[in-house]
Amino acid sequence: MSRVYNFSAGPAVLPEEVLKEAAEEMMDYRGCGMSVMEMSHRSKMFDTIIKEAEQDIRDLMNIPDNYKVLFLQGGASQQFAAIPMNLMKNKKAGYVVTGQWAKKAFQEAKLYGEAIELASSADETFSYIPDCSDLDIPDDLDYVYICENNTIYGTKFKTLPNTKGKDLVADVSSCFLSEPIDVSKYAVVYGGVQKNVGPAGMVIAIVREDLITDDVLPGTPTMLKYKTQADADSLYNTPPCYTIYICGKVFKWLKKMGGLEAMKAHNEKKAKILYDFLDESKLFKGTVRKEDRSLMNVPFVTGDADLDAKFVAEAKAAGFENLKGHRTVGGMRASIYNAMPIEGVEKLVEFMKKFEAENS
Ligand SMILES: *Cc1c(COP(=O)(O)O)cnc(C)c1O
C-alpha cells in the first residue's frame, strides 16, 4: 500500500487512523455481522452512531443548548437555497461576496427575495477580505451572509463582520473544525463535510433554535425546512448513514488530538511552513493579502502558466497530488486540512525548493 500526499480541496484527505478503523469494521461492525452501510438507519446500532456523533461535535465546538445540529443532504450548495427559504422573513438579506461560493449563495438568494451585496472583493480577484466593520445594513435585513473561508481564493475572515445586531449566517465548509469558533455569534453556521471532516454527501448545519419554525417561504420543500429535520433528529428520511459514521470517527480523532485549540495550533504551524517559504521564494508567490490568508487553502503561482503546469506535473510524479489551482484561477493550490500531516507540508516545501533551484 502506498499513500500519496493529497492536497485536494475536496473531497480531501482523511486521517489514516479513521480509514483503518473503518476498514477493520467494514465486514462486521462491532459484532453485528454487517457493515454500517448495510444497517437500518432506525436500528439501535445506528442510533448510537448518530447520537455519539452529535454529542462529539457538540463537545468539540462547545455548541450551546439552544442550537440544533442537523445532518443534511444536498451538500453546502443546497443550503444556498435552504437559508433564504427558512430565514427570509422580510425577504431581504445581505451578502458579503468574497469568492465563488459566496457569489453562488448570493445569486441563489435572489431567487427568493431581495439579496443585497454588502461588500465585495471582486475588484482584486477576491484576493482579500473587505472591511466589514461598518457595513451599510438596512433595518429590515433578515441576515448577513458570509463565506468564512474561501476555498478557491484562499482567504479567511479573521474577524467576523459587524452585523449591527442582525443574524449572521456563515458557510464554514473549508474551515470546519480547523479551529475553535464561538457558535453563539452565529444564527446558522454550516459546512459541507467533504473538505475537512468526512466523505462527501452531507452538510452539517448548526441552527439557533428560534429560527427553526413553520414560518418559512411559501413553497419551501418539506425536506428543506429546518423544522422537519430538527423535529426528526435528522432522521426524517434515510440520512447519509455511512458519512455520519465516518464523521463521527473524525470527531473522536479530533478529541484525541486535543480538540480544536490543539488543531488550531497544529494548523498554524503547518501553514506557516508553506507561507514562510512563499514569502522568501523568488519563483513562487502567494496570491492573497497576508492578513487574510487561510490556514486551510493556500494558492500560489510562479507567474508563468507553462511553469505552473510543469510544477504540477512533476509534483504529481513525486507523490504530491491535486496541487493544480481551481479551474477559474489557475496556478497552484495546496489544501492543508486537519488531516494533512506536517510532514506532508515539509516535504512539499522541500520539493518546491528543488524545483525552484532547477528552474531559475
Ligand atoms: C466546496 C464548497 C461548497 C460546495 O459544497 P457542495 O457540498 O459541493 O455543495 C460551498 N462552500 C464552500 C466554502 C466550499 O468550499
By C-alpha distance, which of 175, 147, 162 is closest to 80? 147
**The CATH fold of domain 17-256:** Aspartate Aminotransferase; domain 2 (3.40.640)
Q: Which pLDDT belongs to residue 328?
A: 78
Of 345, 358, 337, 339, the C-alpha closest to 257 is 339
- Tracing cell 463582520 back to the chain, one arrives at 161
pLDDT at position 42 is: 97
Identical fold, 17-256 and 259-359: no
Q: Does the annotation mark 210 as catalytic?
A: no
**pTM for the structure as a whole:** 0.98
- Establish whether residue 192 lines the binding site of ligand 1, counting it when its CB lies within 6 angstroms of any ligand atom: yes
Contact call for residues 84 and 58 (beta carbons, < 8 A): no
Q: Where are the domains of the chain?
A: 17-256, 259-359
Asked whether the beta carbons of 154 and 297 are under 8 A apart, the reply is yes
Alpha-carbon distance values, 45 to 12, 48, 222 (Å): 28, 5, 27
Q: Is the CB of 77 under 6 A from ligand 1?
A: yes
| Amino acid at site 325 | G
**152 within 8 A of 100, measured Cβ to Cβ:** yes
Question: Residue 206 has what pLDDT?
Answer: 98
Quote the ligand 1 centre to 324 CA distance (angstroms).
Answer: 18
Give me the pLDDT at residue 245, please: 98
Tell me what pLDDT residue 329 has: 81
Angle between helices 241-256 and 16-24 (to 10 degrees): 130
Distance CA 98, CA 155 (A): 8
Phi, psi of 139 (to 5 degrees): -60, -35
Expressed in angstroms and rounded, the spacing between residue 204 Cα and the centre of ligand 1 is 12
pLDDT for res 360: 85
Question: Which atom belonging to ligand 1 lies closest to the Cα atom of 200?
Answer: 7
How far apart are the C-alpha atoms of 173 and 100, rounded to whole Å? 13
Q: For this structure, is 253 an active site residue?
A: no
pLDDT in 10s for each residue of the chain, 360 residues: 789 999 999 999 999 999 999 999 999 999 999 999 999 999 999 999 999 999 999 999 999 999 999 999 999 999 999 999 999 999 999 999 999 999 999 999 999 999 999 999 999 999 999 999 999 999 999 999 999 999 999 999 999 999 999 999 999 999 999 999 999 999 999 999 999 999 999 999 999 999 999 999 999 999 999 999 999 999 999 999 999 999 999 999 999 999 999 999 999 999 999 999 999 999 999 999 999 999 999 999 999 999 999 999 999 999 999 999 998 788 999 999 999 999 999 999 999 999 999 998
Nearest to 125 by CA among 309, 299, 322: 299
| Beta-strand pair 143-147/149-150 | unpaired
139: amino acid identity, one letter:
D
Q: What pLDDT does residue 227 have?
A: 98
What is the rounded distance in angstroms from the CA atom of residue 75 to the CA atom of residue 171?
A: 11
Q: What is the 3-state secondary structure of the chain?
A: CCCCEECCCCCCCCCHHHHHHHHHCCCCHHHCCCCHHHCCCCCHHHHHHHHHHHHHHHHHHCCCCCEEEEEECCHHHHHHHHHHHHHCCCCEEEEEECCHHHHHHHHHHCCCCEEEEEEECHHHCCCCCCCCCCCCCCCCCCEEEEECEECCCCEECCCCCCCCCCEEEEECHHHCCCCCCCHHHCCEEEEECCCCCCCCCCEEEEEEHHHCCCCCCCCCCHHHCHHHHHHCCCCCCCCCHHHHHHHHHHHHHHHHCCHHHHHHHHHHHHHHHHHHHHHHCCCCEECCCHHHECCCEEEEECCCHHHHHHHHHHHHHCCEECCECCCCCCCEEEECCCCCCHHHHHHHHHHHHHHHHHCC
Packed helices 259-280 and 241-256: angle between N→C axes, nearest 10 degrees: 80
Question: 121 CB less than 6 Å from ligand 1?
Answer: no
Q: Measured from the CB, is residue 225 less than 6 Å from ligand 1?
A: no
Quickly name the fold that domain 259-359 has: Aspartate Aminotransferase, domain 1 (3.90.1150)
pLDDT of residue 327: 81
> Does residue 73 line the site of ligand 1, with CB under 6 A?
no
185 is catalytic: no
